[in-house]
Amino acid sequence: MADATRFYIGGEWVAPSTSVTTDIVNPANRSVVGQVALGGPADAEAAIAAARAAFPAWSATTREHRLAVLERINAALIARADEIGDAIMAEMGAPLGLARGAQAGSGPQHFEETIRVLKDYAFETPLGTTLLQREAIGVCVLITPWNWPMNQIATKVAPALAAGCTMILKPSEVAPLDAAILAEIIDEAGLPDGVFNLVHGTGPGIGDALTGHPDVDMVSFTGSTRAGIAIAANAAPTIKRVALELGGKSANILLPDADLAKAVPASVRGCMLNTGQSCNAPTRLLVPRTTLSRVEHLAREAAEAIVVGMPTDNPHMGPVANEAQYRRVIALIEQACHEGTQLLCGGVEPPKSLEHGLFVAPTIFTDVAPDATIAREEVFGPVLAIIPYETVDEAIEIANDSPYGLSGYVWGDPDAARNVARRMRTGMVHVNGASLDSAAPFGGYRMSGNGREWGVWGLEEFLEVKSIYGGA
């Protein structure tokens, strides 16, 4: 098992400045699988100083040099994929197939896309007699969550390296093991000392010192909207760039001509993927009221077909990732029931024989009012709200009536679905079950954040633009 009790600063594995640690808990059985050190301001200072010292030389390296480094890291991520997957399975409860597949596989996915972009990216372009130069923004703090840990690390680390930035990665203290493996890989990849630094800790303990530091040029954060607001406020006095990928309550509109036999089961599975712990999960299912009974039947069948179990048994769905999140999910289910929202299936009782872990059954509420708590709050668990509508215009209005705007989904005639997608106020829309595209921008509107990750947009988040008049 990877060691999260040490930090990687200035090209060396070092002891934290504090002796404080906390348990890394496997949510499937509440067993302790390791310890993570909780660093403090002194560790933040050391990591930032190392990154600042390394920036001039690293930002001046050639495209070819950075490509070679990225390719070495990517090759090692592929070689250690099962180990990374097993770490993710242990630290946040992802089922074996998901942990070794999409979770661990997202690292190479984003490194390979960054490599593709970097090979042909124009860092200098003429604009008449002016030369536009794109250059590394500087020292970056990268803060990542526990739900898709390697995915979010890769979408930040890969483009930051490609841009010529230096960085301090602070992964979630709940799921730090895969980040420790990446640090081992980077140590062996031959980066100059200080280009990549890894520290662990909580937001108040070390995060505030990182995000507010005047020698940090950019903060890239993925996580809750609440934490994103706090980070933006902490960074504001030094006017640093802040890129935020935050929460969501994505609407999934089934048009009147949608193939319900296909769309409903796919929508339920999509909501429950990763135990519902995805910021872009389709958690609001909007259906024509005339089809509500049919949708309920299909949704219940789909939910009951989802196998919930121990991650090592490779079920469809594992536990909620940690105690705090489990309590939030249960509390929101209880609140919905208290408000009189109709429970179709699931609820607060854990699946049989899984009472010792943080398991929640696939839960569906139906005939949900658009203003109900369960239709407004991001649950971040395996909970779906079915909301009936009368007209397509009303469905779009309901979909857009949210403080969030990360993703959306539409099922039906392709042309009609695309027209609806154009009217949805979200950063992304999936038409008829289309998958994510790692070359396309990932990000949202309003309280779902700002900035974009993935592909060329992910690279440009880490670049400044300079106008050199008379330079072309």
Residues tagged active-site: 245
Amino acid at 462: F
Measure Cα distances from 375 to 256, 356, 398, 423, 449 in Å: 21, 29, 10, 20, 20
What's the CA gap between 155 and 28, in Å, rounded? 27
Amino acid at 317: M
Kindly state the helix (H) or strand (E) to which residue 190 belongs, with its residue range. Answer: none
Kindly state the helix (H) or strand (E) to which residue 45 belongs, with its residue range. Answer: helix 41-59
Query: Strand 21-26 vs strand 241-245: parallel, antiparallel, or unpaired?
Result: unpaired
Instruction: Name residues whose C-beta falls within 8 Å of residue 352's C-beta, 6 or more positions apart in sequence.
Output: none
The residue whose two tokens read 């990360």 is 406
What's the CA gap between 240 and 41, in Å, rounded? 19
By the 10 Å C-beta count (0-12 exposed, 13-18 middle, 19+ buried), 416 is classed as: middle
The residue whose two tokens read 């730090």 is 176
- DSSP labels for 231-294? HHHHHGGGT-EEEEE-----EEEE-TT--HHHHHHHHHHHHHGGGG--TT---EEEEEGGGHHH
SS3 call for 21: strand
What's the CA gap between 367 and 386, in Å, rounded? 6
